[in-house]
């Protein structure tokens, strides 16, 4: 199979998530990175591209979009892994030239940009993939499948949390600096950076949308301009209730994303730091564990599992599953057919929902945690 020619915007020397995207794109050998505008200045962009040995290195993303669209063998897809405030401008350039976009979350730094990008994606012939990577974990797919099959009954309660501790104090390195600068991060701090993952995970597993919320956001670190902790009550369509906690000031927590869902007939529990196991409690019965690629795992999970049970899979493989499903969709698009029904990567719609969630949290908190519509 010919590999999809991929470009990258962001992900230069010393960047974090660009390297993860590069690994994820190669795990199933579906992509080849051939072009990049990897950094914010031409000098750094050139140095970063050369360090990776990329064939075509550009000074900036606009130049890259224009030239690649004109090349006979130009890129077919681009990964956008810049800080949040650059997602819109970069994605727009590629979408309008028919180049598929694989963009990291949150979709944009403002709601206005998110709405404009949703329109641009709708008008474009290209696909838009949002790397809400936690939806690519097999045991998360398992949970979603079990909820959809009614195995825990009608959902009543959703508890989801994503605590971290790395912003417990004022930090001076670049990933911390842009994330605490509202001009680059957006109006939400922890809500935008990790609350959106928790929100998306709850939506993905339950299939329910949040209708309204009440958010109590804080910036505990003196001088910080965006929230670093949020307690958010959720009301879902159909009457389910939820609580979402996101925090970057919770010492002892690294990436402790966890979801618990309780229905009329049972409960499910999954934790990102122990991701190969899903706990299921049919009401009145002992708690049981379903293992990735092992006992109890259904088709949705097994289809995207790689190694036998007991050998851990995690963050990189989950990311790779999104990339590989995007590859399936790109190939189907190329051939003018629909991708297989199981292909379920997050889309622009999920991105817009995420930015609407951030906006609602900020609006609610400004009104002393009043209930607001999302």
Ligand X SMILES: NC(=O)c1ccc[n+]([C@@H]2O[C@H](COP(=O)([O-])OP(=O)(O)OC[C@H]3O[C@@H](n4cnc5c(N)ncnc54)[C@H](O)[C@@H]3O)[C@@H](O)[C@H]2O)c1
Under the rule (CB under 6 A), what is the footprint of ligand X? 9-12, 15-18, 37-40, 61, 81-84, 86, 104-105, 131, 133, 174-175, 178, 193
Smallest distance from the beta carbon of 197 to ligand X, in angstroms?
7
DSSP three-state, residue 211: strand
Nearest CB to ligand X, comparing residues 34 and 297 = 34
Cα separations in angstroms, 239 against 161, 211, 353: 20, 10, 19
Smallest distance from the beta carbon of 185 to ligand X, in angstroms?
8
Smallest distance from the beta carbon of 83 to ligand X, in angstroms?
5
Smallest distance from the beta carbon of 235 to ligand X, in angstroms?
27
Nearest CB to ligand X, comparing residues 116 and 333 = 116
Nearest CB to ligand X, comparing residues 294 and 314 = 314
Helix and strand totals (H; E) in the chain: 13, 15
CB 320 within 8 A of CB 24: yes
CB 30 within 8 A of CB 321: no
Nearest CB to ligand X, comparing residues 7 and 83 = 83
Going by the DSSP 8-state scheme, the letter that residue 74 receives in this structure is -
Q: Count other Cβ atoms within 10 Å, centred on residue 105.
A: 23
CA distance 65 to 91: 10
CB 36 within 8 A of CB 63: no
DSSP string, 162-196: EE--TTSS---SHHHHHHT-HHHH-S-SHIIIIIH
Tokens in use for 251?
């010492």
Smallest distance from the beta carbon of 180 to ligand X, in angstroms?
12
Nearest CB to ligand X, comparing residues 272 and 291 = 272
CA distance 156 to 54: 50
Smallest distance from the beta carbon of 86 to ligand X, in angstroms?
5
Nearest CB to ligand X, comparing residues 40 and 168 = 40
Integer-rounded Cα radius of gyration of the chain: 20
DSSP three-state, residue 124: coil
Per DSSP, which regions of 152-276 are E strands? 155-163, 210-218, 229-236, 241-247, 258-263, 266-271
Nearest CB to ligand X, comparing residues 186 and 263 = 186
Nearest CB to ligand X, comparing residues 14 and 209 = 14
Smallest distance from the beta carbon of 348 to ligand X, in angstroms?
15
Smallest distance from the beta carbon of 362 to ligand X, in angstroms?
17
């Amino acid at each position: 199979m010919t590999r999809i020619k991929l470009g990258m915007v962001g992900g230069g020397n010393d960047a974090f998530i660009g390297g993860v995207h590069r690994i994820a794109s190669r795990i199933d050998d579906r992509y080849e990175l051939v072009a990049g505008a990897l950094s914010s200045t031409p000098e750094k962009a050139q140095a970063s591209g050369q360090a990776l040995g990329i064939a075509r290195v550009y000074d900036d993303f606009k130049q890259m979009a224009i030239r690649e669209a004109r090349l006979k063998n130009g890129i077919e897809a681009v990964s956008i892994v810049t800080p949040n405030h650059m997602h819109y401008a970069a994605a727009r350039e590629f979408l309008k030239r028919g180049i598929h976009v694989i963009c990291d979350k949150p979709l944009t730094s403002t709601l206005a940009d998110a709405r404009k990008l949703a329109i641009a994606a709708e008008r474009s012939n290209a696909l838009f993939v949002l790397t809400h990577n936690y939806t690519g974990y097999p045991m998360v797919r398992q949970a979603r499948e079990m909820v959809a099959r009614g195995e825990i009954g009608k959902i009543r309660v959703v508890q989801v949390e994503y605590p971290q501790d790395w912003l417990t104090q004022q930090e001076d390195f670049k990933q911390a600096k842009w994330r605490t600068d509202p001009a680059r991060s957006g109006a939400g701090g922890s809500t935008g950076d990790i609350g959106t993952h928790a929100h998306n995970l709850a939506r993905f597993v339950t299939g329910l949308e949040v209708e309204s919320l009440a958010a109590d956001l804080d910036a505990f670190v003196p001088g910080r301009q965006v929230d670093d902790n949020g307690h958010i009550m959720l009301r879902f369509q159909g009457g389910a209730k939820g609580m979402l906690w996101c925090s970057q000031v919770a010492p002892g927590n690294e990436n402790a994303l966890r979801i618990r869902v309780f229905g009329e007939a049972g409960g499910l529990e999954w934790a990102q730091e122990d991701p190969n196991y899903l706990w299921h409690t049919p009401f009145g019965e002992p708690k049981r564990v379903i293992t990735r690629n092992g006992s109890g795992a259904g088709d949705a999970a097994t289809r995207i599992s790689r190694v036998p049970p007991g050998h851990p899979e995690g963050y990189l493989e989950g990311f790779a599953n999104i990339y590989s499903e995007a590859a399936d969709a790109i190939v189907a698009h190329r051939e003018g057919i629909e991708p297989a029904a199981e292909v379920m990567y997050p889309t622009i719609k999920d991105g817009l929902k995420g930015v609407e969630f951030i906006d609602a949290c900020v609006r609610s908190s400004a009104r002393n945690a009043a209930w607001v519509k999302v």
